[in-house]
Amino acid sequence: MPLLILFVRTIDGLHGLLGRLLALGLLAAALVCFANVVLRYGFGIAHVWMQDLYVWLNAAGFTLGAAFALQADAHVRVDVFYRPASARRKAWIEILGSFVFLLPMLAVIAAWAWPAVRLSWLFNEGSQNIGGLPGLYLLKTCVLGFCLGLALQGLAQAAKAALLLAGRPEYAPHLTGSDRG
């Protein structure tokens, strides 16, 4: 059980830190977008790389931030059965949802994404826009980061549910409602 607790704390800590960093990246994306609009419509200056930059920052933020959203219990779920359920039933739903739906879906996404990411790296792919950013392969790699991060966080969420079922509800406040204001 101590290893399970260490796993949960490590993954939650990692995604908490990553989520805060990505929030700064999304703020940067908004600022770059604002600057791009001001330059284009205020001064008639346009840079394709700036357009790529805010789109890429936004895409990276949302793909890599999915694990943080899962950790923060911010994903959309069908509450018809989940909301009125007891903490133990929620724990079982969490475990089954992770292993029956989340992890297989992520495996399919990763399997389909891998060839495109691999080729992108092999060709050192850049933006398709003339004057755009190099390194599109880094952005495409975020899809694999999405899969890995969400899989690890899904396992951590399932581990929290298992800890609740084992009598350690302090590790699963999202299931007991004790973290709600």
Tokens of 180: 């709600």
Residue 179: predicted pLDDT: 52
The pLDDT averaged over each successive group of 10 residues in the chain (181 residues) is: 91 94 94 95 93 93 94 78 85 94 98 98 94 94 97 96 91 70 38
pLDDT tens-place string over residues 9-50: 999 999 999 999 999 999 999 999 999 999 999 999 989 999
Residue 180: predicted pLDDT: 47
Contact predicate 165/175, CB 8 Å = no
Contact predicate 36/47, CB 8 Å = yes
* 39-to-32, 33, 51 alpha-carbon distances in Å: 10, 10, 12
Residue 169: predicted pLDDT: 83
- Return d(Cα 55, Cα 7) in angstroms, integer: 33
Residue 29: predicted pLDDT: 94
- Return d(Cα 173, Cα 180) in angstroms, integer: 8
Write down the mean pLDDT value for the chain: 91
b/e map 42-65, b = 16+ CB within 10 Å: eeeeeeeebbbbbbbbbebbebbb
Residue 170: predicted pLDDT: 86
